[in-house]
Amino acid sequence: MSKLLRQSLSLFLMMTVITGVLYPLAATGLAKLFFPQQANGGLIVKDGQSVGSVLIGQSFTAPEYFWGRPSATAPNAYNASASSGSNLGPTNPALTDAVKQRIAALRSIDPGNTAPVPVDLVTASGSGLDPEISPAAAQYQLARVAKARGLSTDQVQALVNEYTSGRQFGVLGEARVNVLQLNLALDTPQTHGT
């Protein structure tokens, strides 16, 4: 019996070292080697301060900024410690009401914009933290942002084009625009010639 107990304890300690120490160190090391930006949280540093992550959305509500997808996290929007979707199905009246309110808010901030509102501007993502919007959502907001900043639509369009990423490997997913990176570029005068 004591031999069996010693073997079990030895196996337990060996597996703890392998799976609890060696494997995490190897996985972290490989991630930092091959994907350094993502392994470090995708942090964006400006003037020595971390201003956010390219991997987690942020709340922008001022008219001079592009807005991201609505966040379903609680108690605050884009709360990474409470990542979740709204869990409202397409036939749920609460979802319909929320979408109508979001459309009304978009229309009120930009009453001259009669274009159809892209779905990703009025529905939350599965995680509630989506940092990106579709190119259509960026186009919908382009004139409002340009007007609020006193820029031409061509200047803002050039930045949207610069921060639009295509499909991964040319086939996976859809084209997307990182909202934080785009808004930071808008706040940097030399990037748009003002």
- pLDDT in tens for each of the 194 residues of the chain? 888 899 999 999 999 999 999 999 999 899 888 888 777 778 888 888 888 888 888 888 899 999 999 887 777 778 777 777 777 788 889 889 989 999 999 999 999 899 999 999 998 887 878 899 999 999 999 999 999 999 999 999 999 999 999 888 888 889 999 999 999 999 987 655 54
Q: How many CA atoms lie within 13 A of 150 on its CB side?
A: 4
- Report the predicted TM-score, pTM, of the whole model to 2 decimal places: 0.77
Convert 91-104 to b/e letters by CB count within 10 Å (16 or more is b): eeeebeebbeebee
The ranges assigned to domains in the chain are 1-40, 42-191
> Both ends of the chain: CA-CA distance in Å?
80
